[in-house]
Amino acid sequence: MIIDSHVHYSLRSYDAEAFPYLDYANGTLTLAHGDRAALLQSMKARGIALCIEPSTGFDRIEAQLALAPEYYPYIRLALGVHPKRCAATPWSSRKQLRRYVLENDVVAIGETGLDYHLPPAQCHRFRQKMWFCYQLRLAHERKLPLILHVREADDDALRILTRYRRLLHGGVAHCFGGNTRCAQAYINLGFAIGIGARLLQESNGGELLRQTVRELPLHAMLAETDAPYVLPPLPALFCSASKRKKLRNSSLILPAVIERIALLKGESTAAVEQALYENTLRVFHLHA
C-alpha cells in the first residue's frame, strides 16, 4: 500500500467534468482522462491507501473543508498559510486559522515555511517568518507535525526550527531537492524528507536528489506527488506546451518514484513501499 503524503485534490484544476492526468503502468507513464471522483477511485483500486492534503493558501481552506467530508478518511487534511501567500493574508487571519485547526480533524499544520524564490522585495521575508513562527506555535498547541515548504531558504528555516526545537512534533520537509547535509539537518530536528517526481528529473536538481536518496536512511523518507504539480519527465506525446499546461499530476505515478528509490537504495520495491507507508503513518500519527 502507498500513502501520498502531499496532494492538492481540492484545487479548481480538479473541478472539471473531465481532465487529463498522469498514470503509470508497466513501467511507462501514460495519459488518462476523467473527473476527480474517477481519479480517486482509480487510485484506491491501484493501492493508493490514503492522501494528505495541505493548504495552498488561507483562501483555499474552505474548499478543503468542503471536499473533506465526501472523501474522509481517504483524504486527510493539513491546514496552514503557504509562505507564498503570507503577504496577501491579513495577520488577523491567524485567529481564524486557529479556529479552523481547533474545530476540524487535522493531521498537520501546513504548508508552512519560507520561500525565497523571488527577489527579497517581492517575497516579503519578514512576513513569511511571522507566519512561520505563528504556525510553529499553533502546531505545538495541538501537538501536530508540520508540513514544510522551504524553497531557497533552508538556512533561515533551519535556524527558526532550531530556535523552536522544543516545540516541534516532527513532520516532513516537502518536495525536498537539496543535498545530504541539508536533509540530515531536517532529520536531526525530527523531520522526514518528502521525495517526489523531482527524483525522476534530469534537470531541477534531479541528480543531486538521487545522490541524497542514496545516502539517506530509508526510515527518513516519505513519498509524495504535490499533485497537480511537479510533473515527472514526460514522453514525447505529452511534451507540447499546450498539453503540458493542461496536464495534472496524480498519485498514480508514485510507483515510479518508489521504484527509483528502491533502485538507488539497492532494496526491493516491496520493501521500500512498505517502509514509506509505515513512515507516513508514524509521522502523521495515523493508524493502518
Residue 211 predicted with pLDDT over 70 = yes
- What pLDDT score was predicted for residue 118? 85
Residue 148 predicted with pLDDT over 90 = yes
- What pLDDT score was predicted for residue 238? 64
Segment 192-211 shows an average pLDDT of: 91
User: Are 157 and 208 contacting, i.e. CB atoms less than 8 angstroms apart?
Assistant: no
For residue 244, tell me if it sits in a domain. Answer: yes
For residue 272, tell me if it sits in a domain. Answer: yes
User: Are 80 and 53 contacting, i.e. CB atoms less than 8 angstroms apart?
Assistant: no
For the chain, the straight-line distance linking the first and the last C-alpha, in angstroms and rounded, comes to 10
Matching residue, cell 503513518: 281
Residue-number span of the structural domain to which 255 is assigned? 1-54+195-288
- Looking at the structure of the chain, the number of domains it has is 1
What amino acid is encoded at 243 in this protein? K
For residue 200, tell me if it sits in a domain. Answer: yes
Q: Which residue has the higher pLDDT, 103 or 234?
A: 103
User: Are 226 and 204 contacting, i.e. CB atoms less than 8 angstroms apart?
Assistant: no
For residue 76, tell me if it sits in a domain. Answer: no
Q: Which pTM was predicted?
A: 0.96
- What pLDDT score was predicted for residue 242? 66
For residue 59, tell me if it sits in a domain. Answer: no
User: Are 176 and 6 contacting, i.e. CB atoms less than 8 angstroms apart?
Assistant: no
For residue 148, tell me if it sits in a domain. Answer: no
Confidence label for 70 from pLDDT (cuts 50, 70 and 90): very high
H helices present in the chain, as ranges: 36-45, 61-71, 93-103, 120-123, 125-142, 154-163, 180-188, 206-215, 241-246, 254-265, 269-283
For residue 132, tell me if it sits in a domain. Answer: no
What amino acid is encoded at 83 in this protein? P
Segment 115-134 shows an average pLDDT of: 92
3-state secondary structure 223-269: ECCCECCCCCCCCHHHCCHHHHHHCECCHHHHHHHHHHHHHHHCCCH
For residue 139, tell me if it sits in a domain. Answer: no
Residue 241 predicted with pLDDT over 70 = no
